[in-house]
Structure 1
Amino acid sequence: MACRISELVVDCTGPERLAAFWSEVLGCTEPGRGDGGIIAIGPPGADFGGPQPILVFIPSSDPRTGKLRLHIDVSPTDRDQDAGLERLLAPGARPVGVGQTGTESWHVLAGPEGNEFCLLHTRIQPL
């Protein structure tokens, strides 16, 4: 029997802020909130355990230590990479260096809490 990813859980100090940021970046809606300030977001119509994974932001006061071992890659769906970069910078993403050479086809950015993610070059079809 195989498994599939149903939720990606992110510990964070500000679930409201991160849920709002990623909702804008990904065009997501909020299927629900849980006890203790937990906020879930996903594609329109998505929910816990559905066919598409959702992001779940859980409040945590634990400090981040070291480099992330997992990060999110996003691809533009309605514009080229340069315009996509401008769109991501508007709600608060910022460029960060993690050892890039300058020849990469992607941009490394950080969200509101400093977690890195990449904007890829290839434009893909929206869901």
Structure 2
Amino acid sequence: MASRLANVCLDAHDTFAQAKWWSEVLDDFTFDPADTEPGWNHPGAEESGLVSAEGRHLLFLKVPEDKQVKNRVHPCLRPTDRTRDEEVERLLAHGATLVHDLRDGEKGWAVLADPEGNEFCVLTRRD
């Protein structure tokens, strides 16, 4: 017997703003139109979430404290229709910040942070 990953949760001050930001970053995650649970997916919500066509969930949970240290778990993104560097530039223009640049020509990755400081990596594209 094994387990399957049900969802990934990110702590947030503004769950709806974070979910909206990530829905614009990830082409395969959207707000679930079938989700009518009270308290979800609106400004001021305690929880907001996105779902992919495959049923994977990305949830944002309201917490009072600020992020203090480096994430122990973080998402890694792989661009689908642009180069790694073009994707980094798109995300920076979208409000991400560069945390650590580990790019070396066609190798390596960039560590960015979303508007609330959650780190994520941008890897090279696979053709």
Q: TM-score, normalised by structure 2?
A: 0.79
C-alpha distance in 1, partners of 2:46/2:30? 17
The residue aligned with 2:80 is 77
Q: Give the unaligned 5+ runs of structure 2.
A: 40-44
**SS of residue paired to 2:61:** strand
Deviation at 1:72, TM superposition (A): 0.8
CA contact 2:102–2:109 (8 Å) conserved in 1: no
C-alpha distance in 1, partners of 2:22/2:5? 18
Q: Which amino acid aligns with 2:87?
A: G
C-alpha distance in 2, partners of 1:80/1:113? 25
RMSD over aligned CA atoms reads 2.0
Deviations 1:38-95 (A, max 9, x none): 111022x45xxx4xx2101111102322221111100000111121112211221111
Q: 1:60 to 1:82 in 2, by over 3 A?
A: same
The residue aligned with 1:91 is 94
C-alpha distance in 1, partners of 2:64/2:21? 19
Counterpart selection for 2:51 from 36, 42, 50: 42
Q: Give the unaligned 5+ runs of structure 1.
A: none
Q: TM-score, normalised by structure 1?
A: 0.79
Taking the TM superposition and a 5 Å limit, the aligned residue runs for 1:1-127 are 1-27=1-27, 28-31=29-32, 32=35, 35=39, 36-43=45-52, 45=53, 50=55, 53-97=56-100, 103=104, 105-123=108-126
Q: Which amino acid aligns with 1:95?
A: L
Moved over 6 A (4+): none
The residue aligned with 2:42 is none
Identity of aligned residues (%): 37
C-alpha distance in 1, partners of 2:102/2:121? 15
